[in-house]
Amino acid sequence: MRAIVISKPGGPEVLQYTEVADVEPQRGEIRVRVRATAVNRADLVQREGRYPAPAGVPADIPGLEYAGDVDAVGEAVTDLKVGDKVFGLVGGGSYAEYIIVHSRATSKMPNHLSYEEAASFPEAFITAYDAMVSQCRLSAGETVLISAAASGVGTAAIQIAHAIGARPIGTTRTAAKADRLQEFGLKDVIVNGDTTFAEDVLKLTNGIGVDVTLELVGGEYISQDLQCTAPRGRIVLVGLLAGASCKFNLGMLLSKRLELRGTSLRARPLEEKIVIAQTFSKSLVPLIGAGKLKSVIDKTFPLKDAAAAHEFLGQNESFGKVVLTV
């Protein structure tokens, strides 16, 4: 089969489109003929040699999500059959024509979705829902701050917040992205050319602050998050685009009785991933099927041009997802 392989740590040029060994499903597994996948920040960091793949997935083939057709089933698989259209998350390896997935860790695609649309959903929407709702208990009537709101996870988080009756507030680095976010339906957008936004958030919340902060950037943003999250609020760190270290006031964390947690999906054990996939199927796929949650795709590339897709995402100018067709 053909796949994109990381030949060595480096820039986009180290991605090679080449032949690799075929894969076969084992007991409880399915083989998916991948029709589309998507590019995520984690793929770029893995390519640079700073985010190794977890055990059990290809070490040199990136890719965290997929949409495609069940091509073969292993023993004891009863809930899926050859020809079913499925989509979901994997720990790696989806930049390929075929991928092996546990049968309980995938979801059936709504009939009206294209493969490209379907491939743009899993990582962004599962990440946002797991962080905001499953972990931080965001509920109707609450307010959530979303950093990097124009990103794939950001645009997913906005839609999920609206769907559950919460109020989203987003930050973005440019006025152009702010305009697109408002067109997208985000009423409250803060343009933060640097790392300061806490004062603006407090103004938008009458000095109270937000109930939940979805932190997709990291670094010095954490200090701002502490300032503009309401007492007994919840902050969840998902990304480290601005760096893995920062200085912040521990006294504020204590006095406001805040929760500050970090989260990652990729390295979780299989049973947790199965629970996450089942939550996706029950809580989000029906909303996707009903058209209440939409794919947001900025640009699509063929798999062989994955290097160009990585270069495009690395420019930090995208709005929504970057998709690869296979």
Look-up: residue for tokens 């180290």? 14
Is 253 exposed, middle or buried, given 0-12, 13-18 or 19+ CB atoms closer than 10 A?
middle
State the first-to-last Cα distance of the chain, in angstroms, to the nearest integer. 11
Query: Given this model, what pLDDT does residue 242 score?
Result: 81
Look-up: residue for tokens 């670094």? 219
Assess whether 270 and 242 both reside in one domain: no
Assess whether 174 and 218 both reside in one domain: yes
Which DSSP state fits 167?
E
Assess whether 143 and 229 both reside in one domain: yes
Q: How far apart are the C-alpha atoms of 155 and 149, rounded to whole Å?
A: 6
Q: What is the CATH number of the domain that holds 135?
A: 3.90.180.10
Query: Given this model, what pLDDT does residue 243 score?
Result: 85
Of 161, 178, 163, residue with least CA distance to 213: 161
Entry pTM = 0.95
Give 228-259 as a DSSP string. Answer: HEEEEEEEEE---TT-S-----HHHHHHTT-E
Mean pLDDT of the chain: 97
Q: What are the average pLDDT values for consecutive 10-residue runs of the chain, which has 326 residues?
A: 98 99 98 99 97 94 99 97 98 98 98 98 98 98 98 97 98 95 96 90 98 97 97 97 89 97 93 97 98 96 99 96 98
Query: Given this model, what pLDDT does residue 167 score?
Result: 99
Assess whether 46 and 117 both reside in one domain: yes
Assess whether 27 and 151 both reside in one domain: no
Of 178, 179, 130, 177, residue with least CA distance to 157: 130
User: Token pair of 172, please?
Assistant: 């973005």
Assess whether 258 and 284 both reside in one domain: no
* Domain endpoint, select from 245, 262, 279: 262
Of 186, 199, 196, 179, residue with least CA distance to 154: 186
* Domain endpoint, select from 262, 294, 316: 262
What domain range includes position 36? 2-121+266-325
Assess whether 258 and 270 both reside in one domain: no
Query: Given this model, what pLDDT does residue 267 score?
Result: 83
Q: How far apart are the C-alpha atoms of 321 and 150, rounded to whole Å?
A: 9
| H helix and E strand count, the chain | 11, 15
* Domain endpoint, select from 241, 262, 283: 262
Give the number of domains in the chain.
Answer: 2
**Strand-pair partners of 85:** 69
